[in-house]
Amino acid sequence: MQYFDFSFLKVTPLNILDIVLVALIIYQLYNLIRGTIAANIFIGLALIFGLFFVVRALHMQLLTAILGKFVDVGIIAVIIVFQQEIRRFLLLVGKNASLQRNKAWWQYFFGKAEAEKNNYARIKPIIDACKNLKQNRIGALIVFAKYYDEQFYQNSCEIIDSKISKRLLESIFQKTSPLHDGAVVISENKIKSASCILPLTEKTDLPAQFGLRHRAGIGVTEANEATAIIVSEETGEISYAKQGRVKMNISFAELEKLLNKDF
Ligand SMILES: Nc1ncnc2c1ncn2[C@@H]1O[C@H](COP(=O)(O)OP(=O)(O)OP(=O)(O)O)[C@@H](O)[C@H]1O
């Protein structure tokens, strides 16, 4: 019987740490591109790289030379194509740590129940405003940005920078309000801006009734660490978008749970 000799493999604790860290980075990158158009681009690039290694091994010189040109500029192509995702990843690395730490300290000192109570107080005006908007069939798009990326939001928005209030949210979305077109962005516990023009998703498999408001709500969660509530003017239905996916027609109890988790 033949045995394989693995004695040449020397695994140190540092090697294991190395593998775990790489796995974590790949997982975070996967989370960032999951369900977005970037995932398809990634598959396309991976296929070109895979094909290059196959044709090179088979000594197919012409194809190797052509694909080699792509592979030579591979890292530059990856940086250009995944510019948005790399930006989000770096933001995540830089800012998430401090946000999570704040939350953890709060829970450590005041206990989980107190933290939840505090969170409910923050969420309540938003849920109450959504109830009113739904009842009156007023369309709305409210974005919760984990980090307020000034470059991304401020170009197209009206700066508000105010405490979150039910009445303010309701009045922004009134059809006669000059700010009703576009999205409200909430971040750092404030209504940061209104009337924001957001990027539209390029998804092709969305329900037919989804127009620009829904497309913008989904699009912003693909391009940023953000979630969005979409109130349909047509049906009054509430949808919730996160990481490029959307939950349709959710109840207020569900909305409260989602906001409690994400906001
Ligand atoms: N790029 C954008 N960013 C933010 N808001 C947008 C954008 N494009 C359109 N909107 C908002 O969506 C409104 C138009 O909504 P539209 O009827 O196309 O959407 P919908 O998804 O069908 O939603 P509804 O069910 O409310 O009709 C606009 O009045 C504007 O307020």
Question: What CATH number is attached to the domain comprising 152?
Answer: 3.40.1700.10
Is residue 104 situated within a structural domain? no
* 159 and 206 together in one domain: yes
Is residue 125 situated within a structural domain? yes
For the chain, helix, strand, coil in percent to 5 are 55, 15, 30
248: left (phi over 0), alpha (psi -120 to 50) or beta: beta
| ipTM tops the 0.85 cut | yes
CA of 214 from ligand 1 middle (Å) equals 7
* 176 and 50 together in one domain: no
pLDDT tens across 26-55, in order? 887 777 776 666 777 888 888 888 999 999
The contacts of residue 218 (CB under 8 Å, 6+ apart) are 201, 203, 206, 210, 228, 241, 244, 245, 246
* 90 and 130 together in one domain: no
Instruction: Give strand pairing partners of 226.
Output: 145
Is residue 109 situated within a structural domain? no
Most confident of the following: 99-108, 120-129, 153-162, 228-237: 228-237
Residue 138 vs residues 144, 162, 176, 232: alpha-carbon distances, Å? 19, 22, 11, 7
pLDDT tens across 7-26, in order? 666 788 898 999 999 898 88
* 87 and 132 together in one domain: no
- Domain coverage including residue 83: 13-99
Side chain identity, residue 108: Y
Tokens standing for residue 142: 């409210």
* 139 and 226 together in one domain: yes
CA of 242 from ligand 1 middle (Å) equals 18
Q: Cβ distance 230 to 238 under 8 Å?
A: yes
pTM: 0.69
Q: Cβ distance 232 to 139 under 8 Å?
A: yes
* 95 and 168 together in one domain: no
Is residue 114 situated within a structural domain? no
pLDDT tens across 234-259, in order? 999 999 999 888 999 999 999 999 99
Is residue 91 situated within a structural domain? yes
**CA Rg, the chain, in Å?**
23
Which residues form ligand 1's pocket by a CB distance below 6 Å? Answer: 139, 141, 181-183, 197-198, 200, 210-214, 216, 232-234
The yes-or-no verdict on residue 102 having pLDDT over 60 is no
CA of 140 from ligand 1 middle (Å) equals 8
Q: 66, 99, 132 — which closes off a domain?
A: 99
Is residue 157 situated within a structural domain? yes
Between CA 133 and CA 8 the distance in angstroms is 67
